[in-house]
Amino acid sequence: MVRSADAPKLDPDSPYTAEQSNPVTYDVDFAAVVTAPNHAKVLKVWLPLPQTDSAQQVEEKGLSTFPMKVEPQIGKEKAFGNQFAYFEFTKPEGAQMVRHQFKITVHELHWNLNSEKVTRVARWPDSFTPYLRSDKSVVVDDRLRKVLKEVEPESHGPAKDLTDVMEWVDNHLTYDHARASLQASSEHALDAQAGHCSDYHGLCAAFGRALGFPTRVTYGINPFPKNSPSHCKLEAYMPPYGWVSFDVSETQLLINAIKKDKELGDTKKAELIAAATARLLHGFRDNTWFLQTKGTDYDLAPPAAKRAAVVRTIYAEADGVALPDPDPANPNQTGFAWMTLHKYTPDKVVAYPFKDWSSLLNHK
């Protein structure tokens, strides 16, 4: 195992400090087929491009379109540094496909977070403002602060406060694609007490900001066959560790599956649940996910007609009107303005650690 960097200074662009292990290289063929409304004059598509950083390495192979041939414009938005390939189709007739082929190497990340070492910051540098502000998705208002006061009447230390609110979210939200905002909406999560990964992590991000932690929702891709390839995680900036990744929703699903497994005895169930909880709270990012976008409520590059709450796989608009995000994992949704096609070829056999229970006991 290697450590990706020493403890960072207070810098939102600092590299991850987690232990890295088990690298996997995926050959990725990712496409989106987008259908604009009939007689649309202009179809615009923003395709996020994963970038090389301290936790993943990208080797580009090419961008293309079909049937219309359109050359992309590459842009980087200013708030979080997300990079996009922008395609503009004039008078599109029928569906248009945008395709991205690349290789990416990702690592398993373990922060081994020690809560006693996490420190408070009296005043964060201005560079952290995008991760501390209330925005349209991650809303930090009087209502949220009131709930936070009920969850955590008094502080038990910065790290413990954050883990307590993650536990509250786990106890109060039900995972349900049919009741998901697809917008990382903390308000939806509080209202519906249900949703999918973005609602869990949007609410956790709001609680974290109210506690004084910079937080962000990070969207990426699970490179294995599934109806909806996108998935998001929570990141909180926790000195001296810097950005630490947490996956509250997948851990909840994993623990629920363990509880329901009739082949496991009570002792084994307790052991696995304790291991899953510890892995979550110590900071963990799997090698079956790669990062595409960071942050919420921002202008794309080039700008769209309105700000994007999040970008999950693509963002598209026709004649200035955003096309609705599809969720093919929602059994009640059958009509889609666009869909993704994707194939991933890993260089080794790799198991998804939120379903492969043996992975819980292998990391020391």
- pLDDT per residue as tens digits for the range 13-34: 999 999 999 999 999 999 999 9
Please report, to the nearest 10 degrees, the dihedral formed by the alpha carbons of residues 285, 293, 80, 64 taken in order: 140
- Paired tokens of 213: 């932690």
Cα 227 to Cα 216: distance, rounded to the nearest angstrom: 25
Report percent pLDDT > 90 for the chain: 90
Judge whether residue 181 has pLDDT over 50: yes
Task: Report pLDDT digits (tens) over 201-247.
Answer: 999 999 999 999 999 999 999 999 988 899 999 999 999 999 999 99
Residue 71, SS3 per DSSP: coil
- Looking at every residue in the chain, the average pLDDT score rounds to 95
Residue 228: its pLDDT value, please? 86
**What structural domains does the chain harbor?**
21-107+296-346 (2.60.40), 109-289 (3.10.620.30)
Task: Report pLDDT digits (tens) over 91-128.
Answer: 999 999 999 999 999 999 999 999 999 999 999 999 99
Task: Report pLDDT digits (tens) over 119-167.
Answer: 999 999 999 999 999 999 999 999 999 999 999 999 899 999 999 999 9
- Paired tokens of 185: 């909406």
Region 336-363 average pLDDT: 90
User: pLDDT-derived band of residue 325, with 50, 70 and 90 as boundaries?
Assistant: confident
User: pLDDT-derived band of residue 8, with 50, 70 and 90 as boundaries?
Assistant: low
